[in-house]
Amino acid sequence: MISGFGYSQSGETAYLKEPRSLDVVFSPGIFIQKEIFTEANILLGTVYNNQSGYIPMVGATGFRVGIETNLKSNENFIIAPKLGYEISVTYFSIRLSALNYFQNKQSEFRLLPEAGISIGGLINLTYGYGIGFGQTIHGISNHRLSLSFNLNKRLWNAVIKGLDPD
């Protein structure tokens, strides 16, 4: 079992006082990177709902595994498996991903840092810049603007309904 770290302080929810098991979050998205791409990811980590204190912390953090594609056919089809880590809490979102684009017989590896705004980790709008290594696939820009959604019942309740996620 994977558990989160917590500490005790007056006014905190019981959620942060006890270790938490692994949360699974489905994270689809759409982004512009010279053309429109879609993505599907699974985030394995922790969903937070600490509404008390000076700075409320609501959102999700964890490791991501996923795939992105431009959904085109023939020689224009691009697909990229990826691994990364995300912190999307309260009003900000940051990610770091490693991905490999494939188009026909071409392949390009990139590191992709992203940063942006978030609505409680549920909705994220980020800008990223892909740092390429090796061969370049010309149909893909290094710049990207991404809109993604972290879909999880506990996260939804924490952000939309303001409920304790338990």
Q: Is residue 54 part of a domain?
A: yes
Tally the domains of the chain. Answer: 1
Q: Is residue 166 part of a domain?
A: no
Q: Is residue 49 part of a domain?
A: yes
Which helix or strand (DSSP H or E) is residue 88 part of? Answer: strand 79-89
What residues make up the domain containing 62? 14-161
CATH of the domain at 45: 2.40.160
| Cβ atoms 13, 125 nearer than 8 A | no
Q: Is residue 139 part of a domain?
A: yes
Per residue in 86-119, pLDDT tens? 999 989 999 999 999 999 889 999 999 999 999 9
Amino acid found at 122: L
The DSSP code sequence of 90-130 is TTEEEEEEEEEEEETTEEEEEEEEEEEEEETTTEEEEEEE-
Burial of 155 (0-12, 13-18, 19+ CB in 10 A): buried
Percent of the residues in the chain that have a pLDDT greater than 70, as a whole number = 84
Per residue in 70-83, pLDDT tens? 988 788 899 999 99
- 74: CB partners within 8 A, 6+ apart: none
- pTM value is 0.81
